[in-house]
Amino acid sequence: MRAAIFNGPRSVTAGDRPDASLREPTDAVVRVVLACVCGSDLWYFRGETDFEPGPIGHEFIGIVEEVGSDVTSVKRGELVIAPFAYSDGTCPHCRHGIQTACVNGGFFPQNGDGGQGEAVRVPLADGTLVAVPGSGHSDQTLVRSGDRTASSKSVVRAAGCGSRRSTR
Ligand SMILES: [Zn+2]
């Protein structure tokens, strides 16, 4: 599949990567329809932070193409939002709304695929992906949701509002 590849500071090219595929029963494969360049991408692009050469990108939206046998919250063909981190949604940190500290989670592209590519293997799909109900949403709204949905829910929970359950 085609994907954006970080080669080193100030060098990003389109290249070929292995096709995204299921590795764990908790994985989903999402066909990316839109991804953004995050401000955090600019740190390593400028050479201001270390970053391993390879696939890049997070905060994407896409269509679920395949799900592992343990995935129950999303199904093939659904439009989903992925935040910048993947998380199980069940550990103590996730239950308190701090999915970025998930004991089993990580940050795209540590999963092996970046959001700025044709498809992504999403680990811990039940805790990570948010299905988008309805239709007619603008691309901008959906991409912003990748970051803001997770961030907003964390803030609301930190302020003591809402349930103490996972943001799922
Ligand atoms: Zn967790």
> Cα(114)–Cα(163) distance, rounded to whole angstroms?
32
Asked if the structure places residue 144 within a domain, the reply is yes
Q: CA neighbours within 13 Å on the CB side: how many for 139? A: 7
Q: Specify the higher pLDDT residue, 68 or 138.
A: 68
- Domain extent for 76: 23-36+58-158
Q: How sure is the predictor about 39, in pLDDT bands with cuts at 50, 70 and 90?
A: confident
Asked if the structure places residue 17 within a domain, the reply is no
**Burial classification of residue 161, based on how many CB atoms lie within 10 Å of its CB (0-12 exposed, 13-18 middle, 19 or more buried):** exposed
CA of 16 to the centre of ligand 1 (A): 32
User: Could you report the per-residue pLDDT of 121-167, keeping only the tens digit for each?
Assistant: 999 999 999 999 876 666 666 656 555 555 544 444 555 554 444 44
CA of 125 to the centre of ligand 1 (A): 12
- Taking residues 22-46, what's their average pLDDT? 94
DSSP codes joined into one string, 9-31:
TTEEEEEE-PPP---STT-EEEE
> Cα(65)–Cα(12) distance, rounded to whole angstroms?
27
> Cα(138)–Cα(119) distance, rounded to whole angstroms?
20
CA of 140 to the centre of ligand 1 (A): 28
Asked if the structure places residue 7 within a domain, the reply is no
CA of 96 to the centre of ligand 1 (A): 9
CATH number for 130: 3.90.180.10
Mean pLDDT of the chain: 87
Asked if the structure places residue 2 within a domain, the reply is no
pLDDT at 49: 95
**Count of beta carbons in the 10 Å neighbourhood of residue 60:** 28
CA of 126 to the centre of ligand 1 (A): 11
Q: Into how many domains does the chain fold? A: 1
CA of 21 to the centre of ligand 1 (A): 22
Overall size of the chain counted in residues: 168
Asked if the structure places residue 41 within a domain, the reply is no
Give which of 122, 1, 135, 133 is closest to 59, Cα–Cα: 122
pLDDT at 163: 46
Asked if the structure places residue 136 within a domain, the reply is yes
Asked if the structure places residue 119 within a domain, the reply is yes
3-state secondary structure of 158: helix
Q: What are phi and psi of 33, to 5 degrees?
A: -105, -25
CA of 114 to the centre of ligand 1 (A): 20
CA of 113 to the centre of ligand 1 (A): 20
Asked if the structure places residue 76 within a domain, the reply is yes
Helices (runs of H) and strands (runs of E) counted in the chain:
4, 10
CA of 70 to the centre of ligand 1 (A): 16
User: Quick check: 80 and 64 in contact, CB under 8 A?
Assistant: yes
CA of 104 to the centre of ligand 1 (A): 6
